Structure 1
């Protein structure tokens, strides 16, 4: 394995995750934050700036986006015996939030081309037990808002927007997260801006805001260990996983991880409890002040980041069409911000292996209907066949990177891999 690594074809690694969104300003904040606690209330300031960005009145920060979702469900009084509709193509933390309330997640299918809510199937899954509907804007493309509004208005069911992958995306000129009763956002390392860890909930009316505020105030401050680990990640990811130094940086990342595991510092994004539908200890935590300060810096750059992603996606569109490869299906009246460029290939694993041999990281969001689970999905109420489109997509999905560290030569390398190996990958 080490020998293969040293004989790699390219020194420059093309990465899938947007670690380059972390700039020198954020690194400076993180380094100072390791040794000095901020007195200023950056959480409140971040919430206000976030509200201004979306054009809404009420925003509330939480330790993670999934915590914000759980707080929303709690504020709605959702409990045992209730049902919450959720896309059958999602991350495990979403149905977990439902399960933690005692309610049952009920899965509806997604569009075979858009990967977003299939409204016709959503309507079929509604019963008298349905107390909320979660929708998502996957990969940065807004869902079909008008059609979902018709369902919400007809059945008088609150809708929660999962905007974890779509900050800055728009439907008919209006930003996602602002159309329904609630919207929630995530800021971990895989998103288009990051605070290290954190999330925000957008609330439409004052009554719901006050309920949510009471829940937020009951949240505990994250542990010093949690804060230290994520500040360390902000620093090391930017310094060592930059595409130009990745060849030298990756071994250092592995070494730091090994040392951190030995001293009990290592912290995973999704815990073992969460992979077993169990609520972790100390789950309900606030966003730390230092993470909010980093978020303020990141928020200044979000429109630029999204512009670069859109431009990179347009280049991919142009080149892939020349190869007769089907490009992402975009619905009318949307601004897709392309957190990732999503494609489906029947020979997915061959293609992944091919990219790896050429030092290109590609993503598999999501290679199972309840990501990252490969088995025991029935523990979450999902059985094979519940959502046929999601089952099919999860076997074929691959994501290409679009982030701001991508340059013309990176995109050309990706295209050439596809161009010169069409027979191998079955395209």
Structure 2
């Protein structure tokens, strides 16, 4: 199947990671930290590795020591683990709607939403599209801390060439299974500004090493995801049917617990990144230029493939869109939910996984939606009902027959007229940070 997970991971990367970990031990964390910093063009000291992207966001926000009554602005199209961080910290949140086609709030929308109580703004780079105008926002609102949600945006740049993760006061990255660089589960906090780093670093928490069982489950799950990208659809379906029950019974799958999605429990925000996980990340971080170039080329191919099909609304090619964008997935908006679901079924029959990130304003559907009121972000709600993601990455290289299938499916499912529709729920995808 051509899909979204383990998009840069090769089998030999896993073998190399074992060897590196055995040779370097705990120093593997420092090696990965330096390589990841190099991929962003920042000092190694600017990067801190943690057990997840949500842990990085939590650590930085807690270190700000915000006064009571502080408010946080979030995008009206995000993953549940982001608002849950602020719920666990006891902070009020408000949401800012995204644009009609760019999947991020505009700088103007963010500026209009900032009020007297606003102390933090989370600026998303959803799907790898870098939100424009962050420099101007920082200059206009010096009392506000801007945190980049760069979970989707490794390698992306804004229209001026500045790298995602270096534009705000801080940024967090995710290394979850479906990200351009994956360690299984993991994340990074990036504080590019040295003065900001000096103020915040002393208040960042000490981290705990993950247990051997946790790392084993993460590595096993990552290996499984890599395997799914190597098998034809009939073999994959048979293998899933064979292994689903025993893997669940033995608790061998590393996933976000339902209780955390619901907001009833907290993750371990103080978990660090295991040296073996870091060694897996290192093998990919060293190839950052190759990985980013492939994703750019694949997105350009989708641009050409879908160019004259207005029923499949592609990302807005506005002047603010950086020509060097590195996308996590290639998102399109379809006329309604039923059309989107039919297209996903047709893609699956062609051996292509069609994703539904995000299936709610606060993904996944059924989450607590902390602080959100229905109707508050109509563009975000519409995107959640109609978005379809096409895969990018090493394991998403489409054959000529599959390229033809994508074109045929787009012509059949979507039509040429844009309209808004409401439909039923689709299968839930994992929280992503």
Q: TM-score, normalised by structure 2?
A: 0.86
2:164 is the alignment partner of 1:184: no
Contact 1:100-1:279 within 8 A present in 2 as well: no
Measure how far apart 1:214 and its partner are.
4.5
Deviation, structure 1 residue 141 = 1.2
SS of the residue corresponding to residue 170 of structure 1 reads: coil
- 1:82 lines up with 2:74 in the alignment: no
Spell out, residue by residue over 1:49-99, the C-alpha distance to the aligned partner (whole angstroms, 9 max, x if none). 222221222110000011000011011113652211110100001111111
Partner of 1:3: none
- The offset of 1:376, in angstroms, is 4.0
- Number of residue pairs aligned between Structure 1 and Structure 2: 407
2:162 corresponding residue in structure 1: 174
Distance 1:424 1:360, change over 3 A: farther
Q: List gaps (5 residues or longer) in structure 2.
A: 420-433
- Does residue 64 in structure 1 map to residue 52 in structure 2? yes
Distance (whole Å) between structure 2 residues aligned to residue 33 and residue 424 of structure 1: 52
Deviations 1:203-255 (A, max 9, x none): 133454356545655221111111001111232322x3124444323433454
- Where in structure 2 are the equivalents of 1:238-257 lying within 5 Å? 238=226, 240-257=227-244
> Structure 1 residues 312 and 120 mapped into 2: Cα distance closer, same or farther (>3 Å)?
same
How do residues 238-277 of structure 1 correspond to structure 2 at under 5 angstroms? Answer: 238=226, 240-268=227-255, 270-277=256-263
- Aligned counterparts of 2:140 and 2:249: Cα–Cα separation in 1: 56
Counterpart pick for 2:371 among 376, 381, 392: 381
Q: Which of 164, 175, 184 is the aligned partner of 2:151?
A: 164
- Where do 4+ consecutive residues of structure 1 move more than 6 Å? 424-427
Preserved CA contact (<8 Å) 1:187 1:195: yes
Compared CA separation, residues 385 and 89, structure 1 to 2 (3 A): same
Instruction: Report the CA distance between 1:402 and its aligned residue.
Output: 2.2
**Greater CA drift, 92-101 or 278-287:** 278-287
Conservation of the 8 A alpha-carbon contact between 1:183 and 1:202: yes
Q: Counterpart of 2:48 in 1: which secondary structure? A: strand
Query: 53, 61, 65: which is aligned to 2:39?
Result: 53
Equivalent positions of 1:72-151 (< 5 A) are: 72-78=60-66, 80-144=68-132, 146=133, 148-151=134-137
Matched, 1:371 2:371: no
* TM-score, length of structure 1 as denominator length: 0.87
- Partners in 2 of 1:263 and 1:415 — Cα distance? 42
Alpha-carbon distance in 1 for matches of 2:5, 2:253: 21
- 2:427 aligns with none
- How many angstroms apart in 1 are the aligned matches of 2:364 and 2:180? 20
Alpha-carbon deviation of 1:279? 4.2
The answer for unaligned runs of 5 or more in structure 1 is 1-12
Question: What is the alpha-carbon root mean square deviation over aligned residues?
Answer: 2.6
